[in-house]
Chain A
Amino acid sequence: MSAADLTLTPAAAQEMQVSARPATAWRRLLRRRGAVLGLAVVLGFALLAVFASWVAPYDPLATSWSVIRKAPSAHYLFGTDELGRDVFSRVIWGARASLLAGLVSVCISSLLGVPIGLLAGYAGGWTDALISRFTDAMLALPFLILAIALAAFLGPSLSNAMVAIGLSATPIFIRLTRAQVLAVKVEDYVEAARAIGNPHWRIALRHILPNILPPLIVQSTLSIAAAIIAEASLSFLGLGQQPPAPSWGSMLNTAKNYIDNAPWMAIWPGLSIFLLVLSFNLLGDGLRDALDPRHK
C-alpha cells in the first residue's frame, strides 16, 4: 500500500466542505459500526502504548537463555523469541513505536504541507506554480522508496524514520490543501473578509483554514495508517527502530528467520500492525462519511 492509495480525490474532498457542525458529525460518526470499532481499537492500542510499563508482564528487553523460542503458554501468552524475551510484552511496547511513528510523521507532513498548500492556493501566480512543480516532483518519487532513501542518508533510527516518512507524505497534504483553498477562496465570505480590509494572513488562517479542515482531518487519519505501515516497513528493513528496542516491523524481520520452528514470533506483531492499520482505515472511512453527508 502507498500513501497515494489513501489519498482523497479532489471531488470527494470538495464535497466534504459541506461540513456539518462538530457535534452533528460526531453523532453521525458514532452511528457507523465500522468507525466505532476502529475508534475503539485505536483507543485500546493507545492505552496499551501509554501504560505499557504497567500492562506488559515482563521487561521487553530482558533476555533469558532458559526460555528461548517457547510456544505460547500461560506464562508467556504470545510465546518467547530467539533471545528468550516475552513476545507479548514486546508487542505491547511495540505499539508505542508504531503509534508514535504514525502520529509524529503525520504531524510533520501536515505542519509542513498545510501552510505550504495554503500559501500556494492563496497567493496563486508564480508562487503557486513553483510550489506545484515541486510537489509534482516529490510525488514522482514512490513514497516508500523516498522514505528508504531519506532514512538511508539520514541514518537508521526511529526518529529519522519518522522524519523520512513525514517528509515523504508532505506533498499529499500540500496538494490537498491547495485544491481546497482554490475552491474556498472564491466564496462570498472570503470576499467579504477581504472587502472589510482583513490582512491576507488573517483571511487565510481565520476564514479559509477552518473551512477546509474536514478533508484534512480525514486525510490525516488515513495518512496515519499509511505511516504506521511505512514505519513497520522501514523497521522490517532495518532502517527504523533499532534492536533491541521493540518495534513490530523489526520483530517481523527477526521472526522471518525462525518461521519453521517459532511461527508465533511472526503472527502477533503482524496481526497488531494489521489491526491498528485496519482500525485507522475504518475510522478514516467513517470520518469521511460523517463529515460529508452526501458521500456514500
Chain B
Amino acid sequence: MPAYFARRLAAVIPTLILVTMMVFCLQQLLPGDPALVLAGEDQDPNVVAYLHRKMHLDEPLPVRYGYWIAGVLRGDLGESLRIQRPVRQLIAEKLPVTLELALLAMGIALAIGVPAGIVSAVYRGTAWDYLANVFALWGLSTPNFWLGILMILLFSVTLGWLPASGYVSPWEDWRGNLAAMIMPAFVLGNAIAAILMRHTRSAMLQVLNADYVRTARAKGVSEPRVVLKHALRNALTPIITLGALEFGTLLSGAVLTEQVFSIPGFGKLIVDAVFNRDYLVVQGVVLFTATVYILLNLLADLAYFVVNPRMRG
C-alpha cells in the first residue's frame, strides 16, 4: 500500500507544477505591458514602476516564474491591487461561505440523486425509470442561473416565502442563514443530483446482476434488503468517490449561483476581481481552486484504494 500511495503522490507533483505554470502564463495573455494593465485606468507612473519592480517584469519569463512560485510556496498569492489586501486573506474570508453553500448543495444532490438512481435501476424500463431519466436530462440541461431566477420569481416575488438575495452568517442567525441559503443550495444541487442519479443508476445496474446479489435473493433475503444492503453498499463506493470529483462542477456552479443570489462567497470574489481587473486575485483563486481539485482527486483515489480490497491485491 505505501508503494501505491507514493506512486500516486509522485504523479501529482508534475501536474501541480504544470498547473502553476499555466496559471502564471495567464498573465501573458494580457495585451501589452502587464504593469500598465494592472495599474488600472489612471496608470499612475509610480504604481507602474512599483509593479515593474514587484513583479520583476524586467527579468526573463522563467526568472519571473521562479520569483512567483517561490512566493506561492510560502503561501503568498500576491496582493489585490484594488483593495490592497493579500489574496490569501481574501480567499480565507470568502471560502467558508462557499463551503457552506457547497455542502448544503451536495447534501441536497445526494438526497435526490441517489434514491432516484436506485429507483431507476430497480424499476428499469418502467415509468419510474423514465421519470428519473427525464429528471436527469432536465438537471443537465437547465442553466442554473436561470433556475435561480425562476425560483426567486416563485418563492420570493410571488409567494414571499424566502428572501431573494443577501447572506446572513449562521453564527448570527441560523434561521436567516438557512432561509437565504436553501434556494441557492437547491439550484446548485439540482445539476449534481442529475449526474449522481446517472452514476447511481449505472452502478446499481451493474451490481444488481452480480452473483452475490443473486445468491442473496436465492437465500430468500427480502427485496428491499437485497437492494439496500447487498447492492447499494457495493455500488456506493464509486458514487462517493465520484462525488469528490464533482467539486469542479460545484465551484463552477457556485460562481453563477452566488451571482444570482448575491452571496458574498468565492464565486463572487472571482467575478468581482474580473470586473475590477484585479488580475492577481483571479490568478490566485484559479490556482487555489486547481490545487484543491487535484488534492481532492488524490484523496478520492486513495479512499477508493483503501475501501476496495481488490485493488490492494
Q: Which residues of A contact B (CB under 8 A)?
A: 1-2, 4-6, 133-134, 136-138, 140-146, 148-155, 225, 229, 232-233, 236-239, 252, 255-256, 259-260, 263, 266-267, 270, 273-274, 277-278, 281-282
Contacts and interface: CB of A to CB of B under 8 A. Distances in A.
B149 interface: yes
Interface in B180-220: 191, 194-195
Contacts of B18: 133-134, 136-137
Contact of B140 (A5, A154, A232): A5
A140 B289 CA distance: 8
A237 B271 contact: yes
B19 A137 contact: yes
B110 to A, nearest CB: 16
B157 A144 contact: no
Given A236-B259, A239-B274, A273 B27 contact: no
Contact of A281 (B137, B252, B293, B297): B137
Interface in B1-26: 14-16, 18-19, 22-23, 26
Given A237-B255, A238-B275, A5 B249 contact: yes
B286 A2 contact: no
A232 B270 CA distance: 18
Contacts of A2: 248-249, 252
Interface SS, A side: helix
Given A148-B255, A237-B255, A142 B22 contact: no
B22 A144 contact: no
Given A145-B289, A149-B286, A237-B256, A270 B150 contact: yes
Nearest to A266: B149
- Max chain B Cβ within 10 angstroms of own Cβ: one of A2, A236, A239: A2
A282 B149 contact: no
- Max chain A Cβ within 10 angstroms of own Cβ: one of B16, B252, B253: B252
A233 B22 contact: no
B116 interface: no
B260 interface: yes
B143 interface: yes
**In the complex, the 4 A-B pairs of residues with the closest C-beta atoms, listed nearest first:** A270-B146, A142-B248, A144-B252, A137-B18
A37 to B, nearest CB: 12
Nearest to B278: A152
Interface SS, B side: helix
A96 to B, nearest CB: 18
A256 B195 CA distance: 27
A144 B256 CA distance: 10
9 contacts: A1-B249, A4-B245, A5-B191, A143-B252, A148-B282, A232-B143, A236-B256, A267-B150, A278-B138
- Max chain A Cβ within 10 angstroms of own Cβ: one of B16, B31, B290: B290
Contact of A4 (B144, B249, B275, B289): B249
B30 interface: yes
A140 B15 contact: yes
Given A145-B289, A149-B26, A150-B29, A5 B282 contact: no
A181 B285 CA distance: 36
Nearest to A144: B252
B256 A137 contact: no
Contacts of B91: none
A232 B146 CA distance: 10
A233 B137 contact: no
B113 to A, nearest CB: 12
A142 B282 contact: no
B299 to A, nearest CB: 14
A260 to B, nearest CB: 5
A142 B249 contact: yes
B263 interface: no
Interface in B142-178: 142-146, 149-150, 152-153, 157, 164
A280 to B, nearest CB: 8
Contacts of B137: 278, 281-282
A259 B144 CA distance: 16
A198 B290 CA distance: 42
Contacts of B102: none
Contacts of B23: 141
Given A278-B137, A282-B137, A138 B22 contact: yes
B146 A274 contact: yes
Contacts of B247: 142
A151 B14 CA distance: 26
Given A137-B15, A137-B18, A153-B27, A281 B149 contact: no
B251 interface: yes
A233 B26 contact: no
A140 B19 contact: yes
Contact of A5 (B29, B143, B144, B195): B195
